[in-house]
Amino acid sequence: QVQLVESGGDLVQPGGSLRLSCAASRSIFILSTTGWYRQAPGKQRELVAEISSGGNRNYADSVKGRFTISRDNAQNTVALQMNSLKPEDTAVYYCNARRQSGLASTAWDYWGQGTQVTVSA
C-alpha cells in the first residue's frame, strides 16, 4: 500500500508559523496533483493549496499570501509553509495525492492521516 505520512502539526500562537510535511512511501508525487486540505470541527473538508504534476499552484482565498505549497520530487515530499497564522486556521490538515487515468492501475487518490494545527494564544 501507498502511505502518506504527515508531520509538523502543533500548537502555535496567532501570527506564528508552521511547516507541514508529507512523505509518500513510494514515488508517486511526480505523477500526482498533490495538495493540502483542512477540516475544522463542524465544518466540511476544504482545499487549502494544491500543486499539479506540472507545477501549477492553486490556493484558497483565505490563505493566499500567507501559505506556500512546495514539492520535492526527488525526496517524494510535499510541504505547506504556513505564515501569519490566524485562529481560523485551526483544523486538522490532510495531505492528498491524486491522479486521474482511464487505466485503473495508474489512477489513485491517497490521503494522509491528518495532523492537528491549533492557533491560539
Tell me what pLDDT residue 113 has: 97
**Share of residues in the chain with pLDDT > 70 (%):** 100
Tracing cell 495525492 back to the chain, one arrives at 97
Q: Is the pLDDT of residue 69 over 80?
A: yes
pLDDT category at 104 given cuts 50, 70, 90 is: confident
C-alpha cell at 4: 502518506
Q: What angle do CA 56, 36, 115 make, to 5 degrees?
A: 155
106 φ/ψ angles, rounded to the nearest 5 degrees: -115, 15
Report yes or no: 90 and 40 within 8 Å, Cβ to Cβ. yes
Distance CA 8, CA 116 (A): 9
pLDDT category at 4 given cuts 50, 70, 90 is: very high
Q: Is the pLDDT of residue 1 over 80?
A: no
Buried b (16+ CB within 10 A) or exposed e, 81-108: bbeebeeebbbbbbbbbebeeeeeeeee
Average pLDDT for the chain:
95
pLDDT category at 94 given cuts 50, 70, 90 is: very high
